Amino acid sequence: MPVTTVLITGASGEIGHGLIDKLSAQSDVRIVALDLHAMDEAMAAKCYRVVVGDILDTALIESLSAAHDFDVIHHLAALLSTKSERQPTLAHKVNVEGTMNLLELAIGQSRLQGRDITFLYPSSIAVYGMPDLEAKAKAGKVQETEWLTPHTMYGTNKLYCELLGVYYSEHYRQLDAEVPKGRVDFRGIRFPGLVSAVTVPTGGTSDYGPEILHMAAQGKPYACFVREDARIPFMAMPDGVDALLALAAAPRASLKRRVYNIAAFAPSAGEILEITRRSFPKADVTFTPDVKRQGIIDTWPADVDDSAARREWGWQPAFGMERAFSEYLIPAITRRYLK
Ligand code: NAD
Ligand code: AKB
């Protein structure tokens, strides 16, 4: 059976953790993992090779390209929205220049191998930017082409990198006399806030969702930094990972876009607390909004329209909110903190 070699950047992060778990269960996959931070031994054991390093290190990226023929690249490494707002210059470097380095690796590999290299890019609902709460309420489920006016450094970085992905896939060096075989096949997903039972987020603005649950499960008090009525879409991590794998496997001919919304449930912060309290009735959560972080959430849509993903590559979440909590989050989180 032919082996598929997959490069995962940002492999030590939350999505990387779930993706390595799932991919490593397939016998025909060889994972090369890259992250600034070392991963724990159990995760490292699931990879063919683990590299601790920086996506801004072009010599390192070139050496990876020289050592491996990649079939698929999952480029996950990034600074998330809150961190990016605090360090915008670093965010631009990592999120934009880092992505350029990976796209260069992908185009180089596609030309060397004479075939398309699939490039998976986790974009975000942060690419959207609603001017005020009235517009957010009126907009309802936002489509891929609407409200592309992000207010954050992170959202701006993500939107530009989506466009870079399209450029590398469809217009790269369009003035060249000859068009060599092999392109970057860029495929992006605009993820909502992801909630994992086994990892805790850092540096994002949707972090209040998972934080309500993880703090309640540990019996710790939590001051939630958004209003009780703040609403954005969320998703259980296994669905996020499955979405990346499903989009990677979709036949190119069925895909009419390069970037897709996906959705699962869209609760208010108050509704997250309500469902959390069914399992952890003593959850000590107060709502003490940080006006500025709340301001970012107010610019993100209350929900997104994922009909293109459903139609073109069969996207369907396994977990609605009830099932995400009862069958995934609560059992796994309870085991995690009872250890
Ligand atoms: P994470 O913060 O848990 O992981 C990101 C990883 O990238 C970290 O392990 C970090 O060490 C690594 N990294 C950062 N800078 C690096 C660099 N210069 N070189 C190498 N590695 C570097 O984030 P995550 O939740 O796993 O997110 C993965 C991707 O998915 C990101 O691109 C993020 O923007 C996107 N995304 C995540 C969510 C979410 O809710 N988790 C939602 C939308 C999009
Ligand atoms: C963040 O809050 O920055 C991320 C995201 C929704 O992109 N979780």
Task: Dump pLDDT digits (tens) for 90-101.
Answer: 999 999 999 999
Residue 5 CA to ligand 1 center (angstroms) comes to: 21
Residue 200 CA to ligand 2 center (angstroms) comes to: 13
272 contacts: CB under 8 Å, gap ≥ 6:
209, 212, 213, 234
Summary mean pLDDT of the chain = 97
Q: Is 81 near ligand 2, meaning CB less than 6 Å away?
A: yes
Segment 2-18, tens digit of pLDDT: 799 999 999 999 999 99
Nearest bound ligand to the CA of residue 191: 1
**Residue 339 confidence (pLDDT):** 67
Reply yes or no on whether the pLDDT at 304 is more than 70. Answer: yes
Average pLDDT over residues 172-192: 94
Average pLDDT over residues 254-264: 98
Segment 119-128, tens digit of pLDDT: 999 999 999 9
Could you tell me the pTM of the whole model? 0.98
* Ligand 2 atom nearest residue 194's Cα: 8
Residue 69 CA to ligand 2 center (angstroms) comes to: 31
Residue 202 CA to ligand 2 center (angstroms) comes to: 10
Residues within a 6 A CB radius of ligand 1: 9-10, 12-16, 35-37, 54-56, 76-78, 80, 94, 98, 122, 124, 191, 193-194, 201, 203-204, 206
**Residue 179 confidence (pLDDT):** 84
